[in-house]
Amino acid sequence: MYRIALASRPEGAPTAENFSYEAAQIPTPGAGEVLVRVHYMSLDPYMRGRMDDAKSYAAPVPVGGTMEAGAVGEVIASQSPHFKPGDFAFGMFGWATHGCLPASHLRKLDPAQAPITTALGVLGMPGFTGWHGLTEYGKPKAGETLVVAAATGPVGSMVGQVARLAGLRTVGIAGGADKCELATGRFGFDACLDHRAYENARDLRTALKQECPDGIDIYFENVGGKVLEAVMPLMNPFGRIPICGMIAWYNAGGLGAGARDQGLTAPGLWRNILVNFLSVNGFIISNHFDRFPQFLQEVAPKVLGGEIAYLEDIAEGLENAPATFISMLGGGNVGKQIVKVI
């Protein structure tokens, strides 16, 4: 088998040298364990955080350790009565061709129900994140206006579509004219702005103001940076901001410094939260999987029925995962980034 290990910790943006592609022994499953041949692996922005040694909500990947990832594949050996060879499963198998985990850590998949790749995106962690963050903290109401960036990614596209189905005006923000067209075409956003087309937050704000004539009630925070700065003064009283991610700063090497460079001062932000009575909720989805069955029950029929669209960007080959990951952090992906491992 092969795996990709963290070779060194990045300073700023990761480079190919931070990863090493290595041969390894295929593990033998012990009692209660299941061995899986990975078919598809997920690449997600959170993996950038795992490469750092900083204090966080999750332990870093140790240098020399296999990079963390959710993946789906076929069971090839099992010491558990719950899985047999030929079954398909999702698990945290890492950046690797094979993974061996206790059966209790796996989720069985039925390829006849939905393509197994959907367990990595629209019907997996990212889709669930969008649905949970919006319904739990966004508290959408018909007639309101929602803004979300990374609008064509698996989180943003779920947020936009669930909000639209709830009767909101949805304004996406995405990188480039093609992604904006995807946002309004495939994902049904009422409007989409290209954040790269605006030199500064003030210009982006002017454009946003036009697309949000009644102000913004929900800003689903995926990116931070220039977008946050543009949005904040447009928030309506009693607005809600689920804080999901801040990818614009993941490579900044210190959020404080990154934020200051963007002209976002703590006093300005704080004042906005105060005078507009905003509800700001950070959340980490791994703490909320008790709602996952409800998510699947509500959302899977809409995905399978075509009411909620999704898009996957599938790169070929485990050895290409580092380059694909680096590209994704800068917006190189179009839809949910997946790697086809076999």
Contacting residues toward ligand NDP, per CB under 6 A: 44-46, 126, 129, 149-150, 152-156, 174-175, 179, 195, 222-223, 225, 227, 244-245, 247-248, 283-285, 328, 331, 333, 337
Comparison of 75 and 182: residue with beta carbon closer to ligand NDP: 182
How far apart are the C-alpha atoms of 88 and 110, rounded to whole Å? 7
Q: Say how many residues make up the chain.
A: 342
Question: Helix 125-132 vs helix 154-165: angle between axes, to the nearest 10 degrees?
Answer: 40
Smallest distance from the beta carbon of 225 to ligand NDP, in angstroms?
A: 5
Torsion 253-254-256-257 (CA) sign: negative
89/244 with CB nearer ligand NDP: 244
Q: Which amino acid is at 71?
A: A
Smallest gap from residue 246 Cβ to ligand NDP (A):
6
In the complex, the smallest distance separating the C-beta of residue 310 from ligand NDP, rounded to whole angstroms, is 11
Closer residue to ligand NDP in complex, CB, 103/193: 193
Which CB, 145 or 157, lies closer to ligand NDP?
157
The CA-based angle 251-253-257, given to 5 degrees, is: 115
CA distance 48 to 28: 30
Pairing outcome for strands 107-109 and 71-78: unpaired
CA 150 to each of CA 285, 297, 308: distance values in angstroms, whole numbers, following the listed order:
18, 25, 17
Nearer Cβ to ligand NDP (53/178): 178
On the CB side of 175, CA atoms within 13 Å amount to 14
Nearer to ligand NDP among residue 196 and residue 302 (C-beta)? 196
Q: How far is the CB of 245 from ligand NDP (least distance, A)?
A: 2
Rounded to a whole number of angstroms, the minimum distance from the CB of residue 25 to ligand NDP is 32
Q: Between residues 103 and 201, which has the closer beta carbon with respect to ligand NDP?
A: 201
User: Exposed e or buried b for every residue in 147-170, given b needs 16+ CB within 10 A?
Assistant: bbbbbbbbbbbbbbbbbbebebbb
Q: Which H/E stretch holds residue 183? A: helix 177-185
Distance of closest approach, residue 231 Cβ to ligand NDP, in angstroms:
12
* Complex with ligand NDP: residue 136 or 214, whichever CB lies closer: 136
State the nearest-atom distance from the C-beta of 114 to ligand NDP, in Å: 19
Give min distance, CB of 129 to ligand NDP, in A: 4
Task: State the residue number with the nearest CB to ligand NDP.
Answer: 153
Q: How far is it, in rounded angstroms, from Cα 132 to Cα 294?
A: 10
Cα–Cα separations (whole angstroms), residue 29 to 33, 111, 136: 5, 24, 39
- Nearest distance in Å: CB 236, ligand NDP: 22
Question: Toward ligand NDP, which CB reaches closer, 238 or 289?
Answer: 289
Write the burial class of residue 64 (CB in 10 Å: 0-12 exposed, 13-18 middle, 19+ buried): exposed
- Written as one letter, the residue type at 174 is A
CB 140 within 8 A of CB 134: yes
Check if the beta carbon of residue 89 is closer than 8 Å to that of residue 33: no
